[in-house]
Chain A
Amino acid sequence: MFKTLAGRALVPVGLAVTGFVVVCCLLLYSAIRSGINRYAVAEATNLADTILKSAHYAMLKSDRETLATIIRNIGAQKGVEHVRIFNKRGVVNFSAKTDEINRQLDKKAEGCIACHSGQVPTTTLGTMEQARTFKNSSGKQVLAITAPIYNEPECFNAACHIHPPSQKVLGTLDIGLAQDSLASSLAIIRTQMIIFTLMTLALTIGGVTALLRRSVFLPMRRLRDFVERLNEGKGPMPENPPHLPLDLESIAWCHLRLVQKLNASKENGTKPE
């Protein structure tokens, strides 16, 4: 393949174009996925903050029944895989799943380790650090947000609980949202990009191949056939070479004149000039 002009011309072009287009698509898909994930995390964090603000009054009045109802109703919402509030000791006080209540969570678990990795727990986290993705027990991809419940002046001045002002975090809201629709959107984007890449490659490489074949390789093959026929001496001597692009036609004319002179000198029995 590499001995022919076609192989030498098309292989490096094909390799370079294919490789570059594939790299561009991979980087673009990675950037799109990263952007979509960041947006999903921002929306989930917003939702967690909304839940905390909605439950704020119930927590302030220590209305546990209302708070439990709020959590249960949110947990029944489509797309919410789990929602729970646990206290500063890591015990689940409220949950949409009743079997989780009063269960102690492991501080080293994913979602908890971000704040509890050191001796003194961290009290603030960036938006992306509050998020984690995992597959739950039913095999669904879940995006979970951990939102701390901060001790505000209204809390430590209220008459019902005694929260010392030094306690910065009273508990944590943990909400998990199903990522099925996000995963299917990414799959659609991925398929569209693969199709676009294949079409671009087919057009580019196909176009270059077709143009080269039409403009270069076919005329060169006609020239080669003409020269071989002249050398073999088969058939009558043609008067003109076949119609070729200008560059190749001059080569064909030179060869034809050379063979005509050689034949003429053989017939005359003299040496060619």
Chain B
Amino acid sequence: MEIKIEHLNKSYGKRTVLNDICLHIPVGMYGLLGENGAGKTTLMRILSTMLEPTSGDIKMNGVDIKDKKNIRKIIGYLPQEFSVYPNMSVYSALDYLGILAELPKKMRKERIDYLLKQVNLEQEKNKRFKNLSGGMKRRFGIAQALLNNPKVLIIDEPTVGLDPEERLRFYNLLSELAVNRIILLSTHIAADIEATCSNVAVLCAGKVVFEGDTEALLKIGNGKIYTVSFPQDELEDFKNHYNIISIHQNGKDISCRLFSDEKQNKSWSVCETTIEDSYMYLLSEHRAGEGK
């Protein structure tokens, strides 16, 4: 089971949104990391048959993406923004979507009961959708995407708007589900990838700037991430000369995390790299290469 994306392009008029994307996505959790507007949602929508690519080939488990009917049989899709008829109960909504997924009545009932348990929504099954919390709605989204027991689960920005506890619960749920199926997770939050994915691709302005495992992504930033402290009045000058990742107030001084190819001051100390550091470094390198 794998997804093969070869030379995929998508344009809207003269604007290119995806530019020569090539990815091989194996079984397990696969992260698609990129800033807002990088083309993640466009790629997700193409993979879920909601959009037609301008050119390129995609095969899922050997099935061409143009064969939409058969692709829809093997995918489950959770869009970034979704909702359900507000007055429908959780169970009724799942039942309705199960009918649209063409599940036989008996199987549908078994599957809904199983999924409600798995996403911990059993107690809420008679609640109206509009009365669910943000986290519950996301879990409902996962349940509906899993109705047909898909081989490929496509999840677009699932943790937006979730509080830390809900986010953690969501990571655990995804990790449980990633057995014998591909879970493709798009996000602009590097911590999501760090917590869940073994493989990752980084998108920047419609191009893949990195593809590999998370270890390899971490290595990119190794030895290039520093922390440095300086008086507050030097902050503006610092911002103009260095690539700052994060800033913390530390008494009268500023403690700053930055990346640089070379150590430019003895006061700088190398620190442990995170996925976010490497991601920021990659984006910066790419923009520099593009002349932005």
Answer yes or no: do A and B interact: no
